[in-house]
Each structure stands twice: as structure tokens, then as C-alpha cells.
Structure 1
Amino acid sequence: MEETREINALLHLIDDPDHEVFDTVSNRIVSYGRPIIPNLEHLWENTPDEMIQGKIELLIHRLHFQELQANMSAYAKSTRHDLLEGSLLVARYQYPDMADTPVLQEIEKIKRNIWLELNSYLTALEQVNIINRIFFTYYKFKGVEVSYQHPEEFLINKVLETKRGNSIINGILLQLLCGLLDIPVKAIQIPRQYLLAYFDTAYDYFNPKKENGNNILFYIDPMNGQVYTHKDVESYFKKIGVPITSSYFKPMDHRRIFQFLLEELAKCFDTRDNRYKQTELLALAGAMGYDNTLK
């Protein structure tokens, strides 16, 4: 952005020790939006004072967050909640200048390698076995336990780069790949787990009254691709002492998926210095606008 007299004056007031002056200046700078970021970056590069640099960094962060919050809100209000778009939005909280192209290219490469192995004669289990082999064996993706010390393990760009992700982001990535390949695998809301399920697409046609329970053929653990039966899942519910209800076996709304991902990512910033990030991530989760009463 071209420096006007006002912008130049505002930039020179960033180092004002008066908090009220700085707050006023900050709000005015943020009102310019993303175009003023290059001016702030240039000022940062030419400012030797680390405290002033810190103020500039916070202003740049506020500008990125303001834009991300607007994009998240637009995503939640749209009629189409694309998994890839949502994943990229979440990753932009930590990597606001992230380029989409490397992520898209890597996903397309994985999808193509799976597609080359598929054919119309395979059973549902055979399809999933191929996906697991390509994802976990050929590409060597590794599932790791959820750790709030490693925020990068929640972000799609870093998981594609390092091949290390927790069950939530691995599950999102697997569901995304399955969606691109027209394979009916979706996340479900099993308590204390992030689990995928393979849905029988012919179920509703042959069972219009849904007399035989849910339309899930089997379950998939996104940590390692292990397949579970209905009996396995029933045993899990008995183990944790939770009664089984039909709501646990419905596909998760994509907004709910990202709400959950943001809520879990927020737990990575539970320290005094990073508490503002936790607050911001919870605000983004709220922006998903997901209502648990939705069917």
C-alpha cells in the first residue's frame, strides 16, 4: 500500500508508550485491512527495537486474523462446506501466507495413486484396504496420539509435509480423499474417538423405513487404517459405559468437524503468552455456527 501522510503518521506512532494512543493507532491501522501489511513488514525490517517489533508482529497477526475470521464466517454461511477449503482455512491461522498449490498438488498425487488401484469390481473392504496401503504404507503417513504440544499435527499443510498427523486431521484427509474418489467414507461422532465409517449407499433404497439399524458397513481408525466391526464398536461403548444412540452413527456435519478441530487446536495455546491465540481459535470455532440440534 502506498504510504499516505496518515499511514506514515500512524506507523511512527506505533512506538508511543501511552497505551491509549497505541490502542487508537492500532485500531486505525487494522481498519486498512490486509493491504497495509507490506508497510508494517517494511517497518519491522527497519526497526532495531525488539519491543516495537513485537507490537508490529501483533498488528500483522490481528490483520491476518481479521481476514481469516471473515472467511470462516463466509464458509459457515455458505451452502457448500468443502472439506479441503475448511482444512486450508484452519491451517491459515498458523500459516497466513501459505500457498494452496503445494497442498492441492500433493492431495491430487495421492488421490491419483489410489485411483489407479481401484476398479468397479472391488468390495467396500477391498477399496479401503487399497486406500490404507497407499496412504499408510506407500506414502508412509503416520498416526500420532493427540498432543497439545504439537499444533502442526492438526494442520493439513504440515501433515502432508511431515506425514505425521493425529486422528482428527488424518481422518479429515482420508475422508477428503474418499470424497474425491466417490467412496462413501465419513466421520461419525463416537465419544472420545475420531472414527470414520463406510456407509452402505444402497441401504436407504432397500430399507426405506430404516428397520435394520444404521447403514454403516464397518468402521476405520484414521490413526492406522484398522477396520472395526459393529461388534468391536458395541464392545467399546460397553467399556466406556455410554449407552448407544443413533446420533453417534450419523455422518458429522463438515462445520462440526472444523469446529471440533479448532477447539482441539486451541488447547495447544493454553499458556499466558499464547492465551490470546486460544481465545481467537475458540472464536473461529464459534464462527462455524454449528448447532448440535441440527439433523
Structure 2
Amino acid sequence: MEETREISALFHLIDDPDDEVFNTVSNRIISIGANIIPNLEHLWETTPDESVQDRIELLIHRLHYCDLVQEFTRWKSLPEPDLLAGALLVSKFQYPDLNVNNVLQDVEKMRRNIWLELNSYLTPLEQTNVLTTILYNYYHLKGTELNHSEPNDFLLNKVLDAKRGNSISNGILYLVLCDLLDIPIRAVHIPRQFILAYFELDNGQWDKLPANPSHRIQFYIDPMSGQVFTQKDVETYFRRISVPPTASFFRPLSNVRIVQVLLEEFAKCFENDQHYYKYDELMQLSAMISE
């Protein structure tokens, strides 16, 4: 963006020690929109004062966040919000310059490698074993415990780079591949877990599932490792945590709800004084797309 007299004046006031002045200046800069980001980046490069650099970084982040709010609004308004697109929007919170096409290419390579090993004669368990073997053995995807001091473990682009993620991010990758391959696996709301389930459907129609679809679940998958669990294993788990297995726990989670879970858990990575504004922003995004 061409640096006008107004922009130059605003930039001269970024280092003003008066918080009220800085808030007025920052609000005006934000109102100009994302086109001003290159100017701010140039100002950051030519500013020796670290405290002023911090202010500039915050302004750039707020501009990216405003764009992200609009992108999430558009995503939520779609008739069927796509899980991969939603997960990548979460990644863009931390990596606003993310090359989405590179991620899509990586996912497509995985899909093709799995598709080449599938055929219509495989049983549900054999289908799942093909996907699990390629994902965890061929690509060496690793599962890590949910650790809020490792924000990258929540982000799909970083999971694809490092081949490691937690149950939520690995689970999202697994679900994205299942959707692309028409394998009827969805996430279910088992307490304190992010678990996937293979459903038996009527003519592939998810909307025909009964109110309590537990008897339609053939088995469960732990996205940390790809390990398969039976209904009996899950019933044992419910007894151990002293929670009655009500119908709601066995209904497939929507893509919007999964992205909400991702946003809320990712937000916990920023529950500290220095980055608490990021916690607030992520929770606001979660509330905004609430069903």
C-alpha cells in the first residue's frame, strides 16, 4: 500500500507511551485493513526498538485475525462446512501466510496411496487396516499426548510436516482421508477422548442414523495409533470412569463441532499472561461458529 501522509503520521505515533493514544492509533490502522500489512512489516524491519516491534507484531496479528473472522464466517455459512478447510483456518491463526495448496497436495498424495490399496471386496476392518497401515507405518505418523505447551501438535500443516500430532489433529487427518475415500468413519463424543467410529449406514446416508446409533458402530479407532477397539472395550471404559453411556456419546460429531473442539483445545496453549489475547481470540472464534 502506498504510504500516505495519514499512514506516516499513524506510524510515528505507534511508540507513544500513552496507552489511550496507542489504542486510538491501532484502531485506525486496523480499520484500514490487511493491505497495510506490508507497510507494517517494513516498519518492523527498520525499527530497532523491541517494544515498538512487539506493538507492530500485535497490529499485524490483529489485522490477520480480522480477516480470519471473515473466513470463519464464510466457512460456517456453507451448507456443509468442510473439515479440512476448517482445520486449515485454525492453522492460519498461527501461520497466516500458510500455503494451503502445499497442504492439499500432501493430503492428496496420502489419499491416492491409500486408494490404490483399497477395493470393494474388503471388509470394514480390512479397509480401516489399509488406511491405518499406510498412515502410521508407511508415513510413520506418531501420536503424542495432549500437551498444551506444544501448539504445533494441534495444527494440521505441522502434523503433516513433522508426522506427529495429538489425538485431535491426528484424528482430523484420519477423518479427512476417510471422507475423501468414502469410508464411513466419524468422530464420536466419548468423554475425555477423541475417538473415531466406523458406522454401518443405510445406503451411505448419515441422516438415517437412529437417535442412539451405538448398535450401528462396528468398531472404534484410536487416532493416536490406529488401534481398534470393540464396543465391549468402550463399555468397560464407561464403567471405569463411572459415566452412563447415553445416546449422545455415540452420535457422529459434525465438522463444525470438531473444529470447535480443535479451537478450544488449541486456545489452552495460550493461557498465560503474555499470550492470553490469543486464548480470548480462539475462544471467540469457537463461540462464533457455535451450532
Same fold (TM over 0.5): yes
Is the CA contact (8 Å cut-off) linking 1:76 and 1:289 kept in structure 2? Answer: no
Task: Give the match for residue 73 of structure 1.
Answer: 73
Task: Give the match for residue 191 of structure 1.
Answer: 191
State the SS of the aligned residue for 1:152: helix
TM superposition shift of 1:213: 5.1
TM superposition shift of 1:51: 1.1
Task: Give the match for residue 223 of structure 1.
Answer: 224
Task: Report whether the alignment pairs 1:17 with 2:28.
Answer: no
Task: Give the match for residue 238 of structure 1.
Answer: 239
Is the CA contact (8 Å cut-off) linking 1:203 and 1:215 kept in structure 2? Answer: no
Q: Equivalences for 1:84-123 in 2 at 5 Å?
A: 84-123=84-123
Q: Which consecutive residues of structure 1, in runs of 5 or more, have no partner in the other structure?
A: 291-295
State the SS of the aligned residue for 1:53: helix
Is the CA contact (8 Å cut-off) linking 1:143 and 1:223 kept in structure 2? Answer: yes
TM superposition shift of 1:203: 8.1
Pairs aligned (count)? 289
TM superposition shift of 1:284: 1.1
Task: Report whether the alignment pairs 1:7 with 2:12.
Answer: no
- Counterpart of 2:131, as a letter, is I
Taking the aligned partners of 2:127 and 2:282, their CA distance within structure 1 comes to 36
Is the CA contact (8 Å cut-off) linking 1:269 and 1:277 kept in structure 2? Answer: yes
Q: Equivalences for 1:270-285 in 2 at 5 Å?
A: 270-285=271-286
Q: Equivalences for 1:1-295 in 2 at 5 Å?
A: 1-202=1-202, 214-290=215-291
TM superposition shift of 1:211: 9.4
- Counterpart of 2:22, as a letter, is F
| RMSD of aligned residue pairs (Cα, Å) | 1.7
State the SS of the aligned residue for 1:10: helix
Is the CA contact (8 Å cut-off) linking 1:220 and 1:226 kept in structure 2? Answer: yes
TM superposition shift of 1:77: 2.5
TM-score, reference length from structure 1? 0.94
Taking the aligned partners of 2:45 and 2:223, their CA distance within structure 1 comes to 43
- Higher mean displacement: 242-251 or 15-24: 15-24
TM superposition shift of 1:210: 7.8
CA 1:127–1:18 in 2, change beyond 3 Å: closer, same or farther?
same
- Higher mean displacement: 75-84 or 189-198: 75-84
Q: 1:14-50, CA deviations, whole angstroms, 9 ceiling, x for partnerless residues?
A: 1122221111110000001110000000111111111
- Higher mean displacement: 146-155 or 68-77: 68-77
- Higher mean displacement: 173-182 or 272-281: 272-281
Taking the aligned partners of 1:209 and 1:202, their CA distance within structure 2 comes to 11
Is the CA contact (8 Å cut-off) linking 2:212 and 2:247 kept in structure 1? Answer: no
Is the CA contact (8 Å cut-off) linking 1:214 and 1:249 kept in structure 2? Answer: no
After superposing on structure 2, the runs of 4+ consecutive aligned residues of structure 1 that deviate more than 4 Å are: 207-213
TM-score, reference length from structure 2? 0.95
Is the CA contact (8 Å cut-off) linking 2:214 and 2:250 kept in structure 1? Answer: no
Taking the aligned partners of 1:270 and 1:37, their CA distance within structure 2 comes to 27
TM superposition shift of 1:209: 7.2
Taking the aligned partners of 2:33 and 2:271, their CA distance within structure 1 comes to 28
Q: Which consecutive residues of structure 2, in runs of 5 or more, have no partner in the other structure?
A: none
Taking the aligned partners of 1:283 and 1:42, their CA distance within structure 2 comes to 30
- Counterpart of 2:169, as a letter, is I
State the SS of the aligned residue for 1:214: helix
- Higher mean displacement: 194-203 or 244-253: 194-203
CA 1:133–1:4 in 2, change beyond 3 Å: closer, same or farther?
same
Is the CA contact (8 Å cut-off) linking 2:270 and 2:278 kept in structure 1? Answer: yes
Taking the aligned partners of 1:209 and 1:145, their CA distance within structure 2 comes to 33
Is the CA contact (8 Å cut-off) linking 1:185 and 1:198 kept in structure 2? Answer: yes
Is the CA contact (8 Å cut-off) linking 1:142 and 1:164 kept in structure 2? Answer: yes
TM superposition shift of 1:214: 3.1
TM superposition shift of 1:201: 1.6
Is the CA contact (8 Å cut-off) linking 1:214 and 1:246 kept in structure 2? Answer: no
Is the CA contact (8 Å cut-off) linking 2:201 and 2:209 kept in structure 1? Answer: no
Taking the aligned partners of 1:257 and 1:208, their CA distance within structure 2 comes to 19
